[in-house]
Structure 1
Amino acid sequence: MPAYKAPLRDFDFVLNEVIQVQNVISTLPGYEEATQDVFASYLDAAAKFCENELAPINRAADEEGCSFNPADHSVTTPAGFKEAYQQYCELGFTGLDCDPAYGGQGMPKVLAFPMMEMQCSANVAWSMYPGLSHGAYAAIHAHGTDEQKATYLPKLVDGSWTGTMCLTEPHCGTDLGLLKTKAEPNGDGSYSITGTKIFISAGEHDMSDNIIHLVLARLPDSPKDVKGISLFIVPKFHADGSRNPVFCGALEHKMGIKANATAVINLDGAKGYLIGERDKGLACMFTMMNAARLGCGMQGLGLGEASFQGALSYARERLQMRALTGPKAPEKAADPIIVHPDVRRMLLTQKAYTEAGRAMTAWLALQLDIEEKSPDAEARSQAADLVALLTPVAKAFMTDNGYTAANMGMQVFGGHGFIREWGMEQLVRDCRISQIYEGTNGIQAIDLLGRKVLMDQGQKLRKFTKIVHKYCEANGGDSRLKDMAEAVSKLLKDVGDVTMHVGMQSMMNRDEAGAAATDYLRLIGHLTYGFFWLWISKTALDKLDAGTGEKAFYEAKLTTARFYFAKLFPEVHSLLVTLKAGAKPLMELDEAHFAF
């Protein structure tokens, strides 16, 4: 597989030309030093790290995997992982967007997101070690006591300690109300935690001095459902250096992300400390869970970009047959396969999904910064609602599209794509889990339709659609954008109509919402991407009109936008049909008749 090259020009285009982040960042207190030059410097350093340190060890790490020693419950990560992590810490990347009060650099999240994408493209299994730690940092920063923050945050920020998220148990994943892990009060403010957690990413490894587990458990007198779950900090090592009885029992044998230690974690009376209020653990954990869901979306985006780069390079070099319209490289034995329409269909699909996703995540990260930093309470509230609405879309739509892109990249390689040494099949395997963990994409769809749209009678949705409507209205008069703006405007109306339809149907039968949810999320995904492709196209046209150079770059944006609206966006028509088909086609078959 060709070497990974960070898409720095596209980051610059999205951040500084489309979203124009500096216009917002400059108004947010605490970001005075986050200038465009500072952004460029960080992104350049991150690109060099990802290209030169992470990408070269990716395939070998997939082959080697992590090794577990049952004698001492230790896990050894693949060659080069620990050294790369030490360099990452030395570069200060672990604390990039963390609170300066605990040693962080206080940079905006809109800078952290493209850096996350680069890590996912270069070596997604490695990226999960610091990624989970950042989630633990966020949960403790939001819900911990001053003492807990002082104890744990500086070490998480400088990277000497890492973190995990311990939710899932052998008998319960999505339905955490079935959770069995127990927390018994010790009488000194601490708790004795006993239970087994599975699928714990980065649950045990040799890359840091300590691992801070955030564990969901139930107190003896708490309700026996999700209202009775509390969250606990359970360190691998106590402050005095003694070992806490929280051990790795095994590593899972997985389809992909083999270089990340996905552990079974056994807690045998391990000492833990309550974080947040008792019986409010799920709300605390969602601080970490929402960050992880956005991180999953970034995995889909990053792996889609990596697959596109590999497929494009191969398509330019691989010679097979002649173009249907006549030889394009008559001096060669055959034409490069990039001349063939079906190969271009796959490459353009990868490109269209990736570039729209990049714009979406930049804008979403900017909303996170507004939510946290804006002095305007109304702006903070609006940003929070937009993030809440679009987080399940980012997680599910981007990972579904990322998996599609990875599959197409492998297909471009033909038989060679199925062979491990080319590296393309690894991207498919690594991407597949992103559609499953941190809440399956079906769960994301139910969250979007049920909790984020129907529960508040569409208030959050209207905040987003109002933004889209205003943009279409402002730019639909340009003849060059008219078709795109009209397509998005038509979908806005359709979304309003189908939301009302599903809402009314689900009042009579709640299965109607469940049956519609996946199609509904994909519909909102296309509305979002359509909006961003319209925005990208407007920006490219403005640059071309101004004669600012890079004509080929901006014309490529317009061509890709036209492909998206011609070949991918029309999926909305079939989605509207299947949405209105309702629950009956899914529920009328008797369970016994599923047998064979």
Structure 2
Amino acid sequence: MPYRSPVAEYKFVLDEIVGFSQVAETDTYAEATPDTVEAILTEVGRLADEVLAPLNRNGDLDPAKLENGVVRTSKGFSDGYAAITEGGWVGLAAPADHGGMGLPQTLNCAVNDLFAGSCMALGLNPLLTQGQIEALEHHAPDWMKELYLPKLISGEWSGTMNLTEPQAGSDVGALTSKAVPNGDGTYRISGQKIYISWGDHDFGGNVCHLVLARLPEAAPGTKGISLFMVPKFIPNDDGSLGDANALRVVSLEHKMGIHGSPTCVMEFSDATGWLVGEENKGMAAMFTMMNNARLGVGIQGIGIAEGAMQHAQSYALDRKQGRTPLEGKGGTGTIADFADVRRMLATMKADTFAARAIALACGVAIDMATATGDATWKTRAAFLTPIAKTFGTETGITVSEIGVQIHGGMGFIEETGAAQFSRDVRVTAIYEGTNGIQAMDMVARKMMDGGEMAVALIDEVEANAEAARADFPDLGNAVWQAAETLREATEWMVAQGELNDRFAGAVPYLMGFARVLGGHYHLKAAMAEGGDGPRTRLAKFYIDRLLPEHAGHLAHATCGADDLYAFTTEELTA
């Protein structure tokens, strides 16, 4: 089934749900006018529909290969990447003084959603480069910015992040890669990194690796880690490509999904690198890139949810099986008439909308923090980021699994393409910090303010629910009550002096918070529609059927850790 970019849906969410107009009213983003936004979404939508979506299946069936030390990408991917760079879409949110468009991250989120929904494996490449652009913009020396940023922003060069090592996993502080000073401002970088997405390709240009490594006599753990730029080819002063650097792709991982995206094992053997940021401050610099990527990964989950939903909708409207309850009553005569299939289709649609609204609200907070320098916006963006990443990816996983179920037995047969969405999206809950790590960050670091931002968001939800009560009394009351339950759970979290008690319920707390925010945004959609229309009906479905899940999540969240440690290890593993 052809992919159709949800351009109209994006316009509605931006205009009516997340308050994007306030971003466009700032001096920083004054060029993000409604006409500009519509033109960009329309053009990127055409690119996604006509160029990228036809590559998606081929990337799955004809994966990237390593041949004689060279990564060969899936057929058509090179042309697809060229189309992305020709449109200037890699640099949409990048600084204008280095060749970018300087447009809001919120709009960039929309573009990356369309890329992920049409072909996630290829769309991952510019997403990584965008993260590297932001890291260099904030931490690189001026000469490096002048040399690298124009090339990365144009897409002529691409960027990666190199964190993980075989023995370290998510414990980045356990890495052993070394950086030895040469005495001339360069360093010799040695070590092996795994899970490096788009670590190499045959698109031409340079592949620029940001690598975490440890200087001689550096402190143990994350306090002794520095960040280095280690390019595949050492650039000449004029930006042309010089000698090949001492690095190579050892192998490509054989993955569950996103087969068209080469995931590399990289080896650095006294490769030449340059310091980015200060010595032993590499984690701070890398987190700039990772925070950008975390929202981007949530967006990937939402894009896959969209693609899987459209695939399932098309099948449900085509598949005829058995006698439907609406035969002769204006039904379609297809499985879309069955109540359980309708439940699944509505769940896909409702959760995709909720996840998209949360992610774009996070994007708006990032843009407002950038444009105004206001600390409250910055705190809001930081708090929403783990929710956007986790709920976006969990929604992608759930929706793609429902898509397989709607296909029935054919969903388990690869030729239908339904399973690809489920396989492709599964990694998003793992990379850029697992969803468990996101949730622990939320209940610990993001609540160091005593829960002030969490409470501010809850207050906002309740105020909107109060305003909705006149026209939507049942829906408004349900959202308000859910927010009160969330407030009580938040107060419990803040009161726990033992962080492990918070961590034991971190994931259900985050999911409960997301459920309430989803109810809030669906209620806003009903209010914007102003009557008994499709958005109001979808809001009622979400608030009546999905929002009640928050109670179970939050009950789980406030159990503490004692019952988990009442088990012996042997009991848990027997």
SS of match in other structure, 2:269: strand
Q: 2 CA distance for matches of 1:349 and 1:293? A: 24
Q: 2 CA distance for matches of 1:482 and 1:190? A: 66
**Does the aligned pair in 1 maintain the 2:326–2:337 contact within 8 Å?**
no
Task: Answer yes or no: is 1:460 the counterpart of 2:439.
Answer: no
Q: 1 CA distance for matches of 2:560 and 2:256? A: 34
The Cα of 1:109 is off from its aligned counterpart by 1.7
Q: Deviations along 1:241-294, whole A, 9 cap, x unmatched?
A: 101112111000000011001000101011111111111111110111011111
**Aligned twin of 1:551:** none
**Aligned twin of 1:492:** 483
| Paired amino acid for 2:196 | I
**Does the aligned pair in 2 maintain the 1:162–1:208 contact within 8 Å?**
no
Residue 521 (structure 1) aligned to one of 510, 514, 521: 510
SS of match in other structure, 1:195: strand
SS of match in other structure, 1:220: coil
SS of match in other structure, 1:30: coil
The Cα of 1:460 is off from its aligned counterpart by 2.3
SS of match in other structure, 1:242: strand
Q: Deviations along 1:6-48, whole A, 9 cap, x unmatched?
A: 11111121122333523x1342123333211111111111011
| Paired amino acid for 1:118 | L
The Cα of 1:193 is off from its aligned counterpart by 0.7
SS of match in other structure, 1:160: coil
Q: 1 CA distance for matches of 2:327 and 2:80? A: 49
**Aligned twin of 2:522:** 533
The Cα of 1:595 is off from its aligned counterpart by 4.0
Q: 2 CA distance for matches of 1:87 and 1:501? A: 51
Task: Answer yes or no: is 1:586 the counterpart of 2:564.
Answer: yes
**Aligned twin of 1:29:** 27
| Paired amino acid for 1:540 | E
**Does the aligned pair in 2 maintain the 1:322–1:328 contact within 8 Å?**
no
Q: Deviations along 1:317-374, whole A, 9 cap, x unmatched?
A: 11111234655479x9xx3111111001110010001112222222221221111112
What does 1:6-45 correspond to in 2, within 5 Å?
6-22=5-21, 24-45=22-43
Q: Name the count of aligned residue pairs.
A: 569
Residue 472 (structure 1) aligned to one of 451, 457, 465: 465
Q: 2 CA distance for matches of 1:558 and 1:105? A: 36
**Aligned twin of 2:320:** 319
**Aligned twin of 2:224:** 228
**Aligned twin of 1:283:** 284
**Does the aligned pair in 1 maintain the 2:105–2:364 contact within 8 Å?**
yes
Q: 2 CA distance for matches of 1:45 and 1:579? A: 44
**Does the aligned pair in 2 maintain the 1:406–1:424 contact within 8 Å?**
yes
Q: Which shows bigger deviation, 250-259 or 236-245?
A: 236-245
What does 1:498-513 correspond to in 2, within 5 Å?
498-504=489-495, 506-507=496-497, 509-513=498-502
The Cα of 1:397 is off from its aligned counterpart by 1.2
What does 1:74-153 correspond to in 2, within 5 Å?
74-153=70-149
| Paired amino acid for 2:272 | K
The Cα of 1:500 is off from its aligned counterpart by 2.5
Question: Are residues 324 and 429 of structure 1, via their aligned partners in 2, closer, same or farther at CA, if it must alter by over 3 Å?
Answer: same
Q: Deviations along 1:213-260, whole A, 9 cap, x unmatched?
A: 001111112111111111111111111310111211100000001100
Q: Deviations along 1:155-188, whole A, 9 cap, x unmatched?
A: 0011100000100000112111111011111101
Question: Are residues 119 and 314 of structure 1, via their aligned partners in 2, closer, same or farther at CA, if it must alter by over 3 Å?
Answer: same
**Does the aligned pair in 1 maintain the 2:198–2:264 contact within 8 Å?**
yes
Q: Which shows bigger deviation, 94-103 or 571-580?
A: 571-580
SS of match in other structure, 1:317: coil
Q: 2 CA distance for matches of 1:17 and 1:411? A: 33
Question: Are residues 365 and 595 of structure 1, via their aligned partners in 2, closer, same or farther at CA, if it must alter by over 3 Å?
Answer: closer
Q: Which shows bigger deviation, 282-291 or 586-595?
A: 586-595
Q: 2 CA distance for matches of 1:495 and 1:352? A: 20
Task: Answer yes or no: is 1:170 the counterpart of 2:170.
Answer: no
Give every structure 1 segment of 4 or more consecutive aligned residues whose post-TM-superposition deviation is greater than 4 Å. Answer: 325-330
Q: 1 CA distance for matches of 2:28 and 2:435? A: 35
The Cα of 1:90 is off from its aligned counterpart by 1.1
SS of match in other structure, 1:200: strand
Q: 1 CA distance for matches of 2:143 and 2:131? A: 19
Q: 2 CA distance for matches of 1:262 and 1:459? A: 40
**Aligned twin of 2:347:** 349
Q: 2 CA distance for matches of 1:83 and 1:324? A: 47
The Cα of 1:594 is off from its aligned counterpart by 3.2
Q: 2 CA distance for matches of 1:501 and 1:112? A: 36
**Aligned twin of 1:563:** 541
Residue 216 (structure 1) aligned to one of 212, 218, 227: 212
| Paired amino acid for 1:41 | A
Task: Answer yes or no: is 1:381 the counterpart of 2:367.
Answer: no
The Cα of 1:502 is off from its aligned counterpart by 3.3
| Paired amino acid for 1:537 | A
Q: Deviations along 1:33-70, whole A, 9 cap, x unmatched?
A: 3211111111111011100111011101111100102x
Give percent identity, aligned residues only: 37
| Paired amino acid for 1:54 | L
SS of match in other structure, 2:279: coil
Q: 2 CA distance for matches of 1:94 and 1:576? A: 39
**Aligned twin of 2:303:** 302
What does 1:168-207 correspond to in 2, within 5 Å?
168-207=164-203
**Aligned twin of 1:482:** 473
| Paired amino acid for 2:51 | E
Task: Answer yes or no: is 1:67 the counterpart of 2:65.
Answer: yes
**Does the aligned pair in 2 maintain the 1:386–1:463 contact within 8 Å?**
no
**Does the aligned pair in 2 maintain the 1:159–1:208 contact within 8 Å?**
no
What does 1:244-263 correspond to in 2, within 5 Å?
244-263=245-264
Which blocks of at least 5 consecutive residues in structure 1 are unaligned? 545-553
Q: 1 CA distance for matches of 2:500 and 2:517? A: 26
**Aligned twin of 2:239:** none
TM-score normalized by the length of structure 1: 0.93
**Does the aligned pair in 2 maintain the 1:472–1:489 contact within 8 Å?**
yes
Q: Which shows bigger deviation, 47-56 or 576-585?
A: 576-585
Q: Which shows bigger deviation, 232-241 or 154-163?
A: 232-241
Q: Which shows bigger deviation, 164-173 or 31-40?
A: 31-40
Q: 1 CA distance for matches of 2:188 and 2:328? A: 73
